[in-house]
Amino acid sequence: MPQRPDANRRAVSLRQRLLLLTAGALLPLALAAGLALQALLTQQRLQTEQSSLDLTRALATAVDTELRLTISALQTLAATEPLASDHPADIEAFYRLARRVLTERPEWRAILLADPSGKVLFSTNYPFGGEQPTLADRCDGIAGKGEAARALEERRFEPSDHSRTLSEGNRGL
């Protein structure tokens, strides 16, 4: 008697068939969910990187703007009448002007004026005419002495965070 083609097969129960059907239906769904989750994580990482970059740029712009404003204010202060002439006649008037400018710039700790030899003419942290700090006292930071010496030689102002305000012991400009 000839054998039937399905006689060699094992009989598959209904339970096994339903399990195979369920697995066959859920496997593509699980694979699609995994791919979607991976895409979401990649997108969030890229957004985080972009927002960090944007924040860094904004902070750099803010710092650059503040430095430009500081340099502009110091250049304007250096160009005022008591200092702009070849023979500054009234250092006390410049001291008063520096004190007024300092009240407008609360982030500044002090304004210090030194002559080309390095002698401090005044510091706004001290009363005019009283004992003034030495430039070495003011520039005891990491690279402060070299910066101060170059500024004196080049006859320019030097904003620096390397000097200490003697009255407060804090870093300052």
**DSSP string of the chain, one letter each residue:** -PPPGGGSSPPPPHHHHHHHHHHHHHHHHHHHHHHHHHHHHHHHHHHHHHHHHHHHHHHHHHHHHHHHHHHHHHHHHHTSHHHHSSS---HHHHHHHHHHHHHH-TT----EEE-TTS-EEEETTS-TTS----HHHH--SSSHHHHHHHHHHHT-----SSEEETTTTEEE-
Place of tokens 């003034």: 132
Would you state the pLDDT for residue 133?
Answer: 76
Report how far residue 83's alpha carbon sits from residue 65's, in angstroms, rounded to the nearest whole number: 26
Place of tokens 């401090």: 120
C-alpha of 108 from chain center: 18
Buried b (16+ CB within 10 A) or exposed e, 162-172: bbbbbeeeeeb
pLDDT tens per residue across all 173 residues of the chain: 555 655 566 788 889 889 989 989 899 999 999 999 999 999 999 999 999 999 999 999 999 999 998 888 888 887 877 665 555 567 888 888 889 988 888 888 888 887 777 778 888 888 887 887 776 655 544 344 556 566 656 666 555 554 444 344 443 33
pTM assigned to the model: 0.55
Would you state the pLDDT for residue 170?
Answer: 40
Would you state the pLDDT for residue 113?
Answer: 82
Would you state the pLDDT for residue 151?
Answer: 64
Would you state the pLDDT for residue 146?
Answer: 59
